[in-house]
């Protein structure tokens, strides 16, 4: 079960939190719910750069009067106003739509405290749905006791927001009869990510905002395989029921012990416990934390293999032996013995649909990813009962086997051919919660009592630029943040610049402060920005070198890339800007 995957780096905390709380690790909302919501709360997400399709949904919601409330340390232009490039009126007149009704800027990591304050306000005003709570939930009394015992002084200090601001946000929520809660990696890439997500879910449960139109949780995942591969069992801790079904269908005994997630895989390679890395897509070396240690770990491998559609930096960081296996991209025609093939994908709204390439392959020698896996399996497992080569002749055969293993995929081949695909049932939409109690669970997460002063005066979060998709950088501009021609930047508040006696444009080195020593990234340009004091932001993958390997989300293992304790120093004379 050594199946580290992209979810380990982004929304693992969402899955852990939601499975415990409502029995499913996915969001419950559909696009139709965005059309019916009276309020949409957006925590730790920047759709203007990362999810432009969602920005269109927010624009439509705002135009019909839905209240959109944003919590984000960075003031993001795309969340304030949006001009639709597909709207002739917007393009011809230069007009745009106001998105956020309210925009709150908590300090980095302050969302947990802010949500605690909102819940405290709801309880003080008795603005909770007691009928829903009594009928569908458990754990409410212990949750109430914890929230009521939390002093406002602690909430304000940790949130970086005033009591009045938090109460205002709670009032908007209380007046809404149908609310969606959205969150992105600004929530999941923190040490207390699971706690924060469960408090967001507590907020939804407190007013019955699940299992009704226009309401529910919406973890916004970034691309089409991050949710779908987990549905198909790609997990370092696969469920026993899945392993039972997989073993029964294919006639073998799957291993039961947990495997390595991404951080665990790096540590296993670093210590020599893992000797081979086989990477299906991605850019492992650039996407992962603690760059120096990750590079050293990869170079200790006996063999590294990358199945890729294009060259990337990870191909230069390899083991003693290395293979690059070029494959077809999803945009290319995949011709097998049974004719042109299509794969299936699952989006953040649990919609499953076909995806078939339309372009001629770059080379007739290219194989598809399924074909590469099947040929490798046939060559290395000659006594396997699985007909590997037969299965890839027609992907319908693979889907027929999936239908026998994965719940919700019955009659897979017929349903996926319905225009638009099909929606995977989410029990929470019918207010069914497959937890141990059969109810949704309120979870208790107290705010930490402030400890001693840290040697790191700043918290830094890594972000994307506008000309970037994941680790793929298309250009050096970030138009929404006013950056042109370079990427090694640090966004910093004007008050912090003044306190340090520095000016925008100055070059600095960043040093992350951790128990095992400092990590360094040098030659970054200071950019004045609207961000809370004590908070910084910088682009990844450039900032990945600063993320300690063991700085992860509790119980989820996701690198805590949105809250890196750092200090700054002036760069040495002669340092060049990046």
pLDDT per residue over 116-131, tens digit each? 999 999 999 999 999 9
* CB-based contact 539:562 (threshold 8 Å): no
DSSP calls for 351-365:
EEEEE---BPPS-TT
Q: Same domain for 189 and 143? A: yes
Query: Whole-prediction pTM value?
Result: 0.95
462 or 347: whose pLDDT is higher?
A: 462
Query: Is 81 part of any domain?
Result: yes
* CB-based contact 48:77 (threshold 8 Å): yes
Query: Is 450 part of any domain?
Result: no
Domain count, the chain: 3
Query: Residue 345: which of 225, 469, 444 has the closest Cα?
Result: 225
Q: Same domain for 247 and 200? A: no
Tell me what the mean pLDDT of segment 463-479 comes to. Answer: 90
CATH of the domain at 316: 3.40.50.740
CATH of the domain at 474: 2.40.40.20
- Determine which helix (DSSP H) or strand (DSSP E) holds 438, and give its type and residue range: none
pLDDT at residue 92, rounded to an integer: 56
pLDDT per residue over 77-128, tens digit each? 888 876 565 666 665 556 578 899 999 999 999 999 999 999 999 999 999 9
Query: Is 1 part of any domain?
Result: no
CATH of the domain at 174: 3.40.228.10
pLDDT per residue over 133-186, tens digit each? 999 999 999 999 999 999 999 999 999 999 999 999 999 999 999 999 999 999
pLDDT grade for 515, boundaries at 50, 70 and 90: very high
Torsion of CA 557, 561, 566, 571, to 10 degrees: 130
pLDDT at residue 470, rounded to an integer: 84
Query: Is 378 part of any domain?
Result: yes
Query: Is 578 part of any domain?
Result: no
pLDDT per residue over 26-69, tens digit each? 999 999 999 999 999 999 998 766 667 788 899 999 999 999 99
Between CA 133 and CA 131 the distance in angstroms is 5
pLDDT per residue over 218-271, tens digit each? 999 866 567 888 999 999 999 999 999 999 999 999 999 999 999 999 999 999
Judge residue 433's burial from the number of C-beta atoms within 10 Å of its C-beta, 0-12 exposed, 13-18 middle, 19 or more buried: buried
Determine if residue 182 is left, alpha or beta; phi over 0 gives left, psi from -120 to 50 gives alpha, anything else beta.
beta
Tell me what the mean pLDDT of segment 532-542 comes to. Answer: 97
Between CA 26 and CA 19 the distance in angstroms is 8
Query: Residue 424: which of 269, 241, 228 has the closest Cα?
Result: 228
Query: Is 374 part of any domain?
Result: yes
Q: Same domain for 156 and 257? A: no
Q: Same domain for 95 and 237? A: no
Q: Same domain for 371 and 479? A: no
Q: Same domain for 66 and 112? A: yes
* DSSP code at position 231: H
Identify the bridge partners of residue 461 per DSSP, sorted by sequence position: 537
DSSP E strands, 424-531: 440-441, 458-463, 468-469, 472-473, 489-492, 507-514, 517-528
Identify the bridge partners of residue 332 per DSSP, sorted by sequence position: 359
Q: Same domain for 259 and 378? A: yes
Domain that holds residue 469: 458-570
Query: Is 433 part of any domain?
Result: no
Q: Same domain for 74 and 167? A: yes
Q: Quick one: tokens of 5? A: 């995957």
Query: Is 576 part of any domain?
Result: no
pLDDT grade for 438, boundaries at 50, 70 and 90: very high
Q: Same domain for 195 and 110? A: yes
């Amino acid at each position: 079960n050594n199946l580290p995957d992209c979810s380990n780096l982004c929304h693992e905390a969402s899955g852990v939190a939601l499975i415990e709380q409502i029995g499913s690790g996915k969001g419950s909302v559909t696009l139709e719910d965005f059309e019916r919501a009276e309020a949409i709360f957006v925590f730790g997400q920047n759709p203007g750069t990362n999810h432009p399709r969602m920005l269109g949904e927010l624009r439509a919601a705002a135009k019909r009067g839905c209240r959109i409330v944003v919590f984000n340390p960075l003031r993001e232009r795309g969340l304030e106003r949006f001009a639709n490039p597909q709207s002739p009126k917007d393009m011809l007149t230069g007009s745009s739509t106001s998105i956020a009704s309210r925009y709150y800027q908590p300090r980095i990591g302050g969302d947990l405290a802010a949500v605690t304050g909102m819940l405290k306000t709801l309880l003080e005003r008795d603005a909770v749905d007691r009928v829903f709570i009594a009928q569908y939930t458990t754990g409410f009394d212990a949750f109430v006791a914890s929230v009521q015992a939390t002093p406002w002084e602690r909430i304000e200090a940790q949130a970086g927001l005033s009591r009045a601001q938090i109460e205002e946000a709670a009032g908007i929520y209380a007046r809404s009869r149908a609310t969606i809660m959205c969150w992105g990696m600004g929530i999941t890439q923190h040490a207390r990510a699971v706690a924060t997500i469960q408090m967001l879910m507590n907020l939804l449960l407190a007013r019955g905002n699940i299992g009704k139109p226009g309401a529910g949780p919406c973890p916004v995942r970034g691309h089409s395989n991050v949710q779908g591969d987990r549905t198909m069992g790609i997990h370092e801790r696969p469920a026993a029921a899945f392993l039972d079904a997989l073993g029964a269908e294919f006639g073998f005994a799957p291993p039961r012990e947990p495997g390595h997630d991404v951080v665990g895989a790096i540590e296993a390679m670093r210590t020599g416990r893992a000797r081979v890395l086989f990477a299906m897509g991605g850019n492992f070396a650039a996407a992962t934390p603690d760059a120096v240690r990750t590079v050293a770990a990869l170079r200790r491998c006996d063999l590294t293999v990358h199945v890729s559609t294009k060259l990337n930096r990870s191909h230069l960081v390899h083991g003693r032996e290395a293979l690059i296996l070029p494959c077809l991209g999803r945009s290319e025609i995949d011709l097998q013995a049974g004719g042109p093939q299509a794969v299936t994908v699952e989006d953040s709204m649990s919609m499953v649909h076909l995806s078939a390439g339309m372009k001629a392959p770059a080379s007739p020698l290219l194989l598809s990813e399924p074909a590469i896996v099947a040929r490798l399996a046939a060559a290395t497992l000659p006594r396997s009962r699985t007909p590997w080569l037969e299965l890839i002749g027609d992907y319908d055969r693979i889907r027929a086997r999936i239908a026998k293993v994965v719940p919700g995929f019955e009659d897979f081949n017929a349903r996926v051919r319905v225009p638009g695909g099909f929606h995977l049932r989410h029990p929470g939409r019918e207010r069914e919660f497959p937890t141990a109690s059969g109810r949704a669970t309120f979870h208790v997460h107290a705010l930490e009592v402030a400890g001693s002063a840290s040697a790191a005066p700043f918290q830094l979060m890594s972000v994307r630029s506008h000309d970037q998709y994941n680790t793929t950088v298309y250009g050096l501009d970030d138009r929404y943040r006013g950056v042109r021609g370079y990427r090694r930047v640090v966004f910093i508040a004007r008050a912090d610049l003044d306190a340090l006696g520095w000016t925008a444009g100055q070059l600095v080195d960043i040093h992350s402060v951790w128990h095992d020593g400092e990590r360094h990234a040098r030659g970054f340009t200071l950019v004045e920005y609207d961000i809370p004091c004590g908070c910084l932001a910088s682009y990844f993958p450039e900032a990945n070198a600063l993320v300690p390997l063991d700085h992860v989300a509790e119980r989820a293992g996701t690198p805590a890339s949105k809250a890196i304790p750092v200090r700054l120093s002036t760069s040495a004379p002669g340092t060049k800007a990046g």
